[in-house]
Structure formats: structure tokens, C-alpha cells
């Protein structure tokens, strides 16, 4: 029989009360204010040089979505009145068994030549503007000039940090005979998600990615006297009640001390947290020794495993377990999912309190990413947490999935850049 008292000791640090969630939201709002004022803050609060779209932008545009684990090239048609269509698209991983464009042995030129080749597979032989969604912290000086501040999501390609992303892409397109495809805008994936939602819903003012990585953008009503979409780089928020497992994961990561919120909530890390917890449970006698090599390999346990556990599917980690032992693992998996969604909702509430302290206006939060779309109960937990935080004001707040937001948003940004 399981030692229930010891099991509760494992579970307790992952439980968040409403008061704790509210406190996190308050700290997040303060970090927003500090970042906007130029004070020291874990939130970079980077301007996108874009406001909200009108919904009447029209025309054909190329789009590039560079999201960390994959790149996607698209040909998009904007029809106005909030309507659009993807005419062509090509989806390619940056890392396979035969190549790895995320490694530090790869140069910036090699990476962007590969990207340009993928664009060339679907680009028509006519002059088109291209919008580029680049899902990493960047410093922008205008809508079409951005320098990578630092790689995240464990990318290490050499020569890209501190380089002009648009210049790297433009030069690669020219080398590949694609000079007629002209980069016109570079944005973050969260800004792209927000642009896509706002193109058809004027109430959309927050866009978030809840997938392999995590970040959020929002529409700041008065950024130097004008509305501006702000890329927060919220994955770097660090005022969090972290557990010993979070600390161990952080210590073993590429960049300890950075991206602490992302390491607590994103798909890239939830599986590794589960692996660390399982090994600790085995060490403390809560589980028998599980003969699964993956338990000894960092990152070998994935968020998909976590989802399968929650659905009570049999995987190699559970074949030798009793019903009680499997149930205890399910409870841990569910806690990791719930905490991720609650922490994410806390940041959303912090943003809402910043832009509309009395929650008097309509707001829509647009969310893209595999966690929100596919993980059992994730979207519902975000909704329930926001309902708990907002109370009666929840009637004027909605959340919803945006598919292909970063790709469509890049096309919308290119259209807005032409104005």
C-alpha cells in the first residue's frame, strides 16, 4: 500500500490556492509596470511597432513561422472583413535524424539558407511581401528590423544572437534566387496570434502561446501615447513558488535562472518534471523500480506521456505498477497540468488588471499551442481559474483557440507594414 502521507508531501508543493494565484498575478502586474518604465524586470516588454489590425487588410502575402521546433512557410490571402485563407503551406522540422539546424555547430547562414529553400518550395514567381514570425526574444527598432537577444527553447545555432534577423533572411532569399520575396515585417508568435484573433474580433487584446514554449503579448493602450502590441517575453517571469523539482530542472538546463515560468508551464519541460518526480518517488519507495531506460535519460519522458498518464493509457512507465501506484502517478501528472494552467491564467489576470483594472470592457484572450489545444483539461483549467479570479466580470471575458495564429499573423503584419 502506498504511503499516503509521503505521497501528499510530493503533491503539496504543486498545489496553488486562490490567494497564491492572486499574489502571482499582482507580482506579474508589477513586473509589467517596471518593464514599461525601464526599471529592472524579468519581463522584457518589447514593442512590436504594430497596433491592432482593422480587419480590412487585403492581398496575397508570404509568411514564415519560425517556432523553435519547426518552420512553416505559407502563402496567405487576406480578403478583408476578418476573412483569410491559407493557399499553400509547407511544414518542416529543424531537427531530424539526418540533420540538426538547432545545434551550435550550424552557422546562421546555413540555417537561413535552409529556411529560404523551404520558402522557395511554395513561393510563386511574383513579387510578394513576406511577414516573418520569429518566436524568440528580439530587440526591435521598427516593424522590419529585429535583433535576437538570446536563443530560448534550447536552440544554439551560431551567429544568430545579436544579428539582424531580417537581414539574415533577406540575404538567404537572394542567395536562393528569391529576391522577389521581400521581408516586410518581423513579429513574435504571440503578436501573430493576437493579430490573427484581432483581425476578426475587435475585443481580442491578449495573445498567448501555450505549447512547446510559452509567451504572451497584449495590446498596451498607451505606449508612448499610442496603442502598441507588446511582446512581454513572459516565460522569463520569475516570481514563482518553485519546487525542488523545478530547481533541479533549472540547474540542469542550458540557461539556469532564466525562463523560469516557461520551465514551469511549457510542453518542452513538463515531461522532464514528471521524470524527475518519478525517479524521486522510486527513491523514496512510493513506486517500485521501473525498468524503463527513459527514466535515466533527461528529456526522454515527454508531455505526451503526461497526457497519456492522465487518460489512464498504459505506457512503458506503468506496465509493472499496481492500480494504486498508477493512480498516484496520474495524480502527479494532473497536478503538473493544473499548475501549468493556473500559473498561465495568473499571468493573464495580471495583464487584465493592468489594462482594465475594473474589468469594465470586453476582452478576448487568443491562445495557440499544443497544450491548450490537446492536453486533457488544460483549456478548462485556464477558464475555471480565470472565472475564480474575475468573478462576475468573467461575463465580459472570453478565451479561445487560434489555429495557425503565428503564420496568419505574419501575413497580417506584412499587410499592415504596407500602409
Q: What is the DSSP string of 262-306?
A: HHHHSHHHHHHHHHHHHHHHHHTTSSPPP--GGGGSTT-S-HHHH
Kindly state the cell numbers that stand for 326.
Answer: 498508477
Local structure of 88: helix, strand or coil: strand
Domain identity same for 242 and 373:
yes
Last residue of a domain, one of 187, 221, 255: 187
CATH of the domain at 250: 3.40.367.20
Domain identity same for 104 and 20:
no
Query: Is residue 52 in some structural domain?
Result: no
Domain identity same for 224 and 351:
yes
DSSP 367: E
What domain count does the chain have? 2
Alpha-carbon distances of 107 from 11, 99, 104, rounded to whole Å: 44, 13, 7
Domain identity same for 262 and 328:
yes
Query: For each of the chain's 419 residues, which pLDDT tens digit applies?
Result: 456 788 888 899 999 999 999 999 999 999 999 999 999 999 999 999 999 999 999 999 999 999 777 899 999 999 999 999 999 999 999 999 999 999 999 999 999 999 999 999 999 999 999 999 998 888 889 999 999 988 877 788 999 999 999 999 999 999 999 999 999 999 998 999 999 999 999 999 999 999 988 999 999 998 888 899 999 999 999 999 999 999 999 999 988 999 999 999 999 999 999 999 999 999 998 888 887 788 999 999 999 999 988 887 766 777 778 888 888 889 999 999 999 999 999 999 999 999 999 999 999 999 999 999 999 999 999 999 999 999 988 889 999 999 888 899 999 999 999 87
Query: Is residue 413 in some structural domain?
Result: no
Query: Is residue 419 in some structural domain?
Result: no
Range of the domain at 393: 4-42+206-401
Kindly state the cell numbers that stand for 414.
Answer: 506584412
Domain identity same for 107 and 181:
yes
Domain identity same for 130 and 70:
yes
Q: Which of 236, 265, 268 has the alpha carbon at shortest distance from 341?
A: 265
270, 295 contact by CB (below 8 A): no
Query: Is residue 85 in some structural domain?
Result: yes
Question: pTM score, two decimals?
Answer: 0.90
Kindly state the cell numbers that stand for 415.
Answer: 499587410
241, 185 contact by CB (below 8 A): no
Query: Is residue 195 in some structural domain?
Result: no
Amino acid at each position: 500500500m502506498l504511503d499516503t502521507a509521503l505521497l501528499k508531501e510530493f503533491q503539496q508543493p504543486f498545489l496553488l490556492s486562490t490567494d497564491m494565484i492572486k499574489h502571482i498575478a499582482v507580482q506579474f502586474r508589477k513586473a509589467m509596470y517596471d518593464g514599461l518604465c525601464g526599471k529592472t524586470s524579468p519581463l522584457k516588454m518589447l514593442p512590436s511597432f504594430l497596433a491592432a489590425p482593422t480587419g480590412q487588410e487585403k492581398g496575397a502575402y508570404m509568411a514564415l513561422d519560425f517556432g523553435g521546433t519547426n518552420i512553416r512557410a505559407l502563402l496567405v490571402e487576406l480578403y478583408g472583413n476578418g476573412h483569410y485563407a491559407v493557399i499553400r503551406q509547407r511544414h518542416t522540422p529543424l531537427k531530424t535524424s539526418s540533420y540538426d539546424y538547432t545545434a551550435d555547430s550550424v552557422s546562421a547562414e546555413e540555417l537561413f539558407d535552409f529556411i529560404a529553400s523551404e520558402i522557395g518550395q511554395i513561393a510563386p514567381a511574383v513579387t510578394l511581401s513576406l511577414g516573418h514570425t520569429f518566436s524568440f526574444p528580439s530587440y526591435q527598432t521598427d516593424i522590419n528590423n529585429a535583433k535576437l537577444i538570446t536563443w530560448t527553447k534550447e536552440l544554439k545555432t551560431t551567429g544568430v544572437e545579436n544579428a539582424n534577423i531580417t537581414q539574415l533572411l533577406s540575404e538567404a532569399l537572394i542567395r536562393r534566387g528569391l529576391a522577389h520575396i521581400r521581408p516586410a515585417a518581423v513579429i513574435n508568435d504571440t503578436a501573430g496570434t493576437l493579430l490573427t484573433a484581432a483581425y476578426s474580433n475587435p475585443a481580442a487584446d491578449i495573445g498567448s502561446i501555450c505549447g512547446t514554449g510559452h509567451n504572451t503579448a497584449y495590446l498596451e493602450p498607451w505606449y508612448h501615447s499610442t496603442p502598441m502590441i507588446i511582446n512581454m517575453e513572459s516565460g522569463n517571469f520569475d516570481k514563482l513558488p518553485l519546487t525542488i523539482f523545478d530547481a533541479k530542472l533549472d540547474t540542469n538546463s542550458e540557461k539556469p535562472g532564466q525562463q523560469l515560468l516557461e520551465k514551469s508551464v511549457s510542453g518542452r519541460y513538463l515531461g522532464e518534471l514528471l521524470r524527475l518526480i518519478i525517479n524521486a518517488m522510486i527513491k523514496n519507495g512510493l513506486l517500485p523500480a521501473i525498468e524503463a531506460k527513459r527514466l535515466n535519460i533527461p528529456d526522454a519522458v515527454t508531455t505526451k506521456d503526461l497526457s497519456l498518464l492522465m487518460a489512464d493509457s498504459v505506457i512503458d512507465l506503468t506496465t509493472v505498477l499496481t492500480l494504486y501506484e498508477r493512480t498516484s502517478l496520474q495524480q502527479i501528472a494532473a497536478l503538473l497540468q493544473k499548475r501549468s494552467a493556473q500559473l498561465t491564467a495568473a499571468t493573464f489576470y495580471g495583464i487584465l488588471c493592468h489594462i482594465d483594472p475594473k474589468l469594465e470592457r470586453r476582452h478576448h484572450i487568443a491562445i495557440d499551442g499544443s497544450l491548450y489545444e490537446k492536453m486533457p483539461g488544460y483549456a478548462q483549467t485556464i477558464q475555471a481559474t480565470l472565472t475564480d479570479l474575475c468573478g462576475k466580470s468573467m461575463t465580459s471575458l472570453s478565451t479561445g483557440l487560434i489555429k495557425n495564429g503565428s503564420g496568419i499573423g505574419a501575413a497580417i503584419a506584412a499587410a499592415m507594414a504596407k500602409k
